[in-house]
Structure 1
Amino acid sequence: MGRERNGCAARVALLGAAVALAMAGCTATRQQDAAPMPAPPAGLERFYSQSVNWGSCEDYGDPTDRFPPVAQCAKITVPVDYARPDGPTAQLALTRIPASGTKIGSLLMNPGGPGVSGLSMAGIAGRTPLSEHFDRVGFDPRGVGSSTPSILCLTPREADAERAEKPEDNTAQGIAAAEADNKEYVDRCAERTGVDFLAHVGTREVVQDMDVMRAVLGDAGLTYLGYSYGTRLGSAYAERFPDRVRALVLDGAVDSSQDPVQESLRQAAGFQGVFGAYSADCATASDCPLGTDPTASVSRFRALVDPLVATPAATSDPRGLSYDDAITGVQQALYSDDMWQALTTGLGELRQGRGDTLLQLADMYDGRREDGSYANTQDAFNAIRCVDDPRITDRAVVGRQDSEYRRAAPFLDDGRGTGAAPLELCAQWPVPNTSEPHSISAHGVPKTVVVSTTDDPATPYQAGVDLARQLGAALITYRGNRHTAALVAGDECLDDAVIAYLVDLVEPARGQTC
């Protein structure tokens, strides 16, 4: 299949200060008061000056989201096309937890994806100076989650059917079949979402949306925490609005200077590295399903998953575990060493002919709910990626990429490479891309912070080093096997540095490592 998956880990997130203060219910502010509110762009005044009507979160978010009682939700309006502010509009869903003490401003947060809902982000960093001094604000980017219109390509039944399909061989016939499947998917996206909206769901527009959020939240400068793809949003915002940045923390960096081929190959090597670390850890136990010799872990892993190409594993769910779902479930577990035990359980089950745990992990990755419905994460991921990145239509390039990917990540190599591969679905996308790979240039931006993890499978360490250099940012190195770490890994060294920067603009120590 040429389809890629969500998660940054594709296989191959004008109110005056007095008004904002009253809305937040706070009694004092600091730091942001001294800065004048930037004037809204000409023609966009009605969007920048709109009021935010905060209320109940009952009809917001995924059914599994559990917002605390103090959380408030609202929607704001933005133009679909900023070049046509009098044209169609979109509604963006926001959630916030008001500052509990002396308020500095709002901390806008995005979890990445692209395509992942950010509403639950407001709940992180509770009982810290961040919760005291900031309204913590999460948002669903345009087309995502509770924002409307929604990006929609597949029905739940179609998504289930696609996940159950056997992977195509990279023969001429198999490549043709995979590309026909991709064309069908693209046509469904165009029909169900609308071509006009698909043309305006990329980073270019979301960055402008973030500036509208900054203004309606009452902040002269943006304070932002972005993870994974959310680092692309943050760096693009800094590039476009360097004079409107107060503080940025970018964790799990996407390096916008890389083209999609470079990014996928770095990612393949990252996943292989973490698979090796997991295998070595697992091998310390006598009952490790991959055995006690880490050098044999790839062959043992392939022996477990390859039979699924022909015959799915039994599960308590009538769907069974397909080959694609097994690989997806394994990758989900490799995002953090916190899930390694679940991976060991899943591989142990697979050794016994069952696939329940790996199917649950794949459902988590794909956004499938217990009732069989789906979040639109995967469809949004594809739509945003295809409008953000240049198309690869050269079959020689695609064939080389497939061969190099297999070499970089042998645990993902099904042994059926031929030196050729299908063009991925973006090659047939109905609207042009709106971004190109380039080094970030954000002259005049204040000091920012990049966090990069040494053994991050999805956004490898070097990408953070490169992004920090482009932004002139302080780099914090986190030693670990996980994708993103600040305020989520429970590391005091890292969290203290990030909080001190966001609250008091204290730069991390040069070369800080946690």
Structure 2
Amino acid sequence: MVLYNRYTLSLLLACTACQAAPSHHGDTQIVWGACDPSVVTDASLSCGFLNVPLDYHNPFAGQARLAIVKANATGERQGSVFFNPGGPGLSGLSELSAPVIKEFLLNATGGVYDIISWDPRGVGNLTVPGGIFCFDSAAEHAAFFNGTIELTGIEETGNFTDPADVNALLAQAPIMQKKYKELGQKCLNSPSGKYLKYIGTAATVRDIVSMANAIDGPDAPINYYGISGGTIIGSYFVNMFPERVGRVVIDGVVNPVTWATQKPSILWSQQLLSSDTVYKGLITGCALTGPAGCPAASEGDGPLDIDAKFQALLTAAHDATVANPSVLLSSGILRVVLLNELYGPALWDSFMKEGWTQAVEIVKGEAPANNSLAKWSETSVRPNSRLLKRTIPNDSSPYSTHAIQCGDAIDLHGVTMEQQFKGIIDTTRNISHMFGSYWPSQAYLCAFWPVRAVERYKGPWNKKFANQIIVASNVYDPVTPLASAEETARELGEDAVLVRQNGFGHATIAEPSACTINVLAAYVVNGTVPAKNTLCEVDADYEIFSGVTTADILAHLPSVDV
């Protein structure tokens, strides 16, 4: 249970029920200089810091410090565009260092805006509060969760129709509930714990306004581009500060209303709505390129033949894990790796040539221990997002994503792990056969997270904006489905215009489209709002597999469920 004193509670109620107050806090300027090369690898970028209030409604709470990075406009500067890469919990500093991301953003904004990103509160080791660490080492994390599904994933076959799989998962419910409660207290008692209540999207939105005030002035429109979890920030921003809305694009959309008002586990199940279809895109491309371009294909194979091989591999990994939980590669780990690969079609070719081959060898017991596919999972990342690189000694994974989502989440008193596990079974049977059992996900920890943010925005979601915004989505996105973008555009009202890209992957950046770039640049540079429900095609010369384009895959997608 989260406890608030009377003063804090009154502020929280005022902020969630009433119009958001303006944010004019923070320093008046940012001193730009060289970046920390251990975090920002592009020497052309500039970095600086800005002090902001930890709690914008309580001046006695102290200060936070934002680490900020800037890519200068390549043309005559018209202002700034603030960029958040999502997660939530990804480092804006390291993400903007990625050439593909910087190039995309400069092209999408016409090169006439400085691109500003930052490590939000709870992220990285330069912003304060920085990354949320609940363990002192990876070894401590492994020991804490030893013998649980946190390390092996969830084992199931046949869309969770086997009673033995169901019983095995439900047997873990009391174990995982106890572990997650203990984890929440570890996080609260860690050096990061004192900051947990100040981490959340509403505070991050106010931080954006503080940065914009310092960089462009307190009356300037605020321009913003958010991807994935960054779309939550964008949706909150346009409704908390509708009068400051400049050119805003949210791309690869998480439904903000569901995020703010429903159980996180419900949101996660909705996010998997198109994941099986994207998986069909992968196996279709493999079949079309054939054995010369995809080792999983045999001569004459169609997509369903490739799927049968994947299912056989998952079943073999499942059976091996049931017999010996300490095996190298479980079916649960395989599903996690596979869903991560679906984010970026640019990696499908290499995944099938390397990852698939390694997985088959490991499951057969032919590969050495250091060739585990878990290693592939750590190093193969979607092209629009690199894993957060840290230079601090702690080698455990941060709980930044958990802290942000759980800080925003509704109060979940009484929700049990058994209820959530039954939801996973239902999702696997009815929404995503392939990925409904994806585990772990931060969505399931929030019921046992000990803190909520001191400010949580709950709406309204249809304010009148100073300018129209763009809601963008791939037609086939594995974790932020088009349906979420469509619903969000409806929720935001007539000032939101939907732009679709007829391709695969997470957010439109996942595949190249001159059409999409031109639409975005015309909007950001000139304010040209595209027609509603604009549909852009992926570039015709872009090949996902050798000789296989997005259009080829779309034309051959199997209509049957996998």
Identify the TM-score tier after normalising by the shorter chain.
0.7 to 0.9
Pairs within 5 Å for 1:127-166: 128=107, 130=109, 132-145=111-124, 146-150=126-130, 151-154=132-135, 155-159=137-141, 162=145, 165-166=151-152
Q: Separation in 2 of the partners of 1:173 and 1:184?
A: 18
User: Per-residue deviation at 1:243?
Assistant: 0.5
User: Per-residue deviation at 1:177?
Assistant: 1.5
The equivalent of 1:496 in structure 2 is 518
Q: Separation in 2 of the partners of 1:294 and 1:483?
A: 23
Pairs within 5 Å for 1:43-442: 47-58=25-36, 61=39, 65-67=40-42, 69-122=43-96, 124-125=102-103, 128=107, 130=109, 132-145=111-124, 146-150=126-130, 151-154=132-135, 155-159=137-141, 162=145, 165-167=151-153, 170=168, 173-219=171-217, 220-258=220-258, 259=262, 260-284=264-288, 285-286=290-291, 288-289=295-296, 292=301, 293-294=305-306, 296-297=308-309, 299-306=311-318, 307-308=320-321, 321=329, 324-344=332-352, 345-353=354-362, 354=367, 356=371, 358-364=373-379, 367=387, 378-392=398-412, 393-395=414-416, 397-407=419-429, 408-412=431-435, 424-432=444-452, 435=456, 440-442=461-463
Q: Separation in 2 of the partners of 1:370 and 1:410?
A: 35
Rate the CA distance shift 1:237–1:135 in 2: closer, same or farther, 3 A: same
The Cα offsets for residues 233-285 of structure 1, whole Å up to 9 and x where unpaired, read as 01100001000111101100111122334322222332222122212222342
AA matched with 2:249: V
User: Per-residue deviation at 1:376?
Assistant: 7.9
User: Per-residue deviation at 1:441?
Assistant: 1.9
Q: What is the Cα-based RMSD across aligned positions, in Å?
A: 3.4
Q: Separation in 2 of the partners of 1:310 and 1:183?
A: 29
Instruction: Check the 8 A contact 1:78/1:89 in 2, yes or no.
Output: yes
User: Per-residue deviation at 1:495?
Assistant: 0.6
Instruction: Check the 8 A contact 2:65/2:128 in 1, yes or no.
Output: yes
Rate the CA distance shift 1:490–1:70 in 2: closer, same or farther, 3 A: same
Instruction: Check the 8 A contact 1:121/1:137 in 2, yes or no.
Output: no
Instruction: Check the 8 A contact 1:95/1:119 in 2, yes or no.
Output: yes
Q: Separation in 2 of the partners of 1:129 and 1:230?
A: 16
SS in structure 1 of the partner of residue 399 of structure 2: helix
SS in structure 1 of the partner of residue 522 of structure 2: helix
Please, which moves more after superposition, 211-220 or 127-136? 127-136
Residues matched between the structures, number: 459
Instruction: Check the 8 A contact 1:207/1:236 in 2, yes or no.
Output: yes
AA matched with 2:513: D
TM-score, length of structure 1 as denominator length: 0.80
Q: Separation in 2 of the partners of 1:493 and 1:356?
A: 41
User: Per-residue deviation at 1:343?
Assistant: 2.7
TM-score, length of structure 2 as denominator length: 0.73
Q: Separation in 2 of the partners of 1:479 and 1:375?
A: 39
Rate the CA distance shift 1:437–1:280 in 2: closer, same or farther, 3 A: farther
Please, which moves more after superposition, 372-381 or 146-155? 372-381
Instruction: Check the 8 A contact 1:60/1:73 in 2, yes or no.
Output: no
Structure 2: stretches of 5+ with no match in the other structure: 1-19, 155-166, 537-562
The share of aligned pairs that are identical, in percent, is 24
Rate the CA distance shift 1:85–1:370 in 2: closer, same or farther, 3 A: closer
User: Per-residue deviation at 1:144?
Assistant: 0.3
Q: Does 1:467 align with 2:488?
A: yes
Instruction: Check the 8 A contact 1:71/1:97 in 2, yes or no.
Output: yes
Structure 1: stretches of 5+ with no match in the other structure: 1-39, 315-319, 417-421
